[in-house]
Chains A and B, each alone.
Chain A
Amino acid sequence: MKSEKTIAWVLLLVLPLGFAAIWRLQHGIDAQRAALSQERDDVLLRSGRLVKIMSLEYAPLLADIYWTRVVQYYGNKHVRGQANLELLWPLLDITTTLDPNLLISYRFGAMFLSQAAPAGAGRPDLAVQLIQRGIQANPEYWRLYEDLGFVYYFDLKDYPKAAEAFLEGSKKPNAQLWMKVMAAKVAAEGDSFATSMFLWKDIYDSTPDPSVKKNALLHLQLLKVRGDCKQLDALADEYAKRYGKRPARISQMVQAGLLRGIPGDPLGFAYILGENGKAELNLDSPLLEQQLLLDRFK
């Protein structure tokens, strides 16, 4: 039929030509709009409470949308390598107010906030605030403690608080064993040997898992090593004060009467003094390898 043919021709002509034109126009418009550089990252309503009131019964849904905006905002800035993340906090604030149980927004939000620029907003203080808000709303969720611990540990370098967070989290239901491990590790980092020792001891005594037990034992041994080395260093300082020079060998300290005998590490290998004059594990001790291995992960 004639009309059928006409229709086919019209379609063949209009559709490709039209879409080609649309393609070109869109390029042009994009260029125009990019030149205008409208600030599109505006958060008009900064009050989470107000947004919540306005969201009727759909607050959780709106929270999801806001969360998507957070991710996009962060992602866009991240891709462009821009460090200006000042809207991150208001967006997260609104998101978590709208839906206090949106756990992911606390966890990743804290990550975005805490990391140093340009990777993140460089605001660990806000990250702590966010997570604490999350903990308040979801007190039984151990992972938030984990995140809190890490923010304290990595970004704020507040080891006692980090250890406290890990320890608190380890008491929550379903918490992984390594939360306690982290607490112990971090406590050690913060030089609170006692806490660390105690925690590792607790792990050692309570775990049925032989590999964890072995690991705990190793840590206990290395903690002992660190403690011993510190004491030896202190004695070496004493020696230096007395004789005007640092000892070259442990035996010198024994001769000086500072030690009763040459002390050994938990495996019985005698400590030595390194080239810098600090006490170290014996080169023959199997613990040395473990120590080096762990130090590498610090």
Chain B
Amino acid sequence: MDTPETPDSELVSRTQAGDARAFDELVVRFSPRLYGLVYNMTASHEDTNDLLQDIFAKAYRSIKGFQGKSAFYTWMHTIAVNMTINFLKKRNRRRTMSLDDVDNGILSDPDFIKATSHGDPSQDANLVELQKKLNESMLKLSHEHRAVVTMFDIQGMPHAEIAKILKISEGTVRSRLFYAHRQLQNHLQEFMKN
């Protein structure tokens, strides 16, 4: 395996030359981040797994056409967002709410406890309800707004990067964020009072 210091561009060149192991390294490198992106847009671990497999398969098939005009990171995220939005359009609301409404694993995650615990038992008891409501609110956003919120608020990407990935202006990114935040505020009012 390559060291983490190997630049993406070198791994891409090696993949283009037929080295499948170099692409494996890219999969290892990008899958956690892309998982977060896809999961927060689909709200389903099962769908995320399938979709992520398809995203990497598509990237592998198309990598010869990647000319390096943008960063590989941006290129991968563009594929992931486009495929996820197409998937969500096709999913046709099979279920109104994800099966993963409440991610039980998170409640025992020490990082999560540390980040959310305020020493108030009643507030801690509301965490499950909060997470459920948060997921519901996210699912009420349009696919495009959800993509922007996921990348900015959850993944911490800058506006400029999101604009490149979605091929829209930074102004559009900001306006989508503003609109999405207003919608989320309406849905989450009771939790925001605390």
Partners in one complex: no
| Chain B residues within 8 Å of A, Cβ to Cβ | none
